[in-house]
Amino acid sequence: MGRSSGGFRRRARADRPKSQIGSVCNVSSEGHVVTYVVTENCIKCKYMDCVEVCPVDCFYAGENMLVIHPEECIDCGVCEPECPAEAIKPDTEPGLEKWATLNREYAAKWPNITTRDTPPADAKEWDGVPGKLSHFSPVSHDEAAPAKMAECASEVVK
Ligand code: SF4
Ligand code: F3S
């Protein structure tokens, strides 16, 4: 059984109010714990539409991308179509191992984010640009914010 039947399961879950989503078994028929991962095209786009729809608030924020906590994601699939950059994918898609590893690593380091912030001013210009991994920032959203404010203040002083 592939993800096609899983898609039906995910949609059914997504229709439920948040209060009715309890313990969910997100294990594929092959015994693999499925989750969703944020991939390369999020970098420098960081639209953050995804955080508004996640029923379990499992997004974590870096300076220029978000990641999903693999143990908290309940595989509901609600966030996948909400991302304007199409950066959210099920980890069962081939070739996403490095993104699954990156999501796991930085979900443990970055702060949780539950409300949409302002996306970067040049987000649209970066949407679809190949090779964005080289622009990945390991800095957390919280650490980046004061640095950006200081940068803006120095621009005003000039
Ligand atoms: Fe949240 Fe997306 Fe996981 Fe659903 S699939 S729990 S919306 S991260
Ligand atoms: Fe990134 Fe898409 Fe969310 S660009 S911040 S995964 S809406």
Cα separation, 112 vs 79, whole angstroms = 16
Mutate to test the pocket of ligand 1, among 79, 89, 104 (most ligand atoms within 8 A of CB): 79
Proximal ligand: closest to the CA of 88: 2
pLDDT at 99: 97
What CATH number is attached to the domain comprising 62? 3.30.70.20
Q: How far is CA 94 from CA 17, 74, 79, in A?
A: 31, 20, 19
pLDDT at 95: 95
Count of domains forming the chain: 1
pLDDT at 21: 41
pLDDT at 145: 77
Give the domain extent around 131.
5-157
Mean pLDDT, the chain cut into blocks of 10 residues (158 residues total): 32 36 49 83 98 98 98 97 98 95 97 97 98 98 77 54
pLDDT at 20: 35
Proximal ligand: closest to the CA of 36: 1
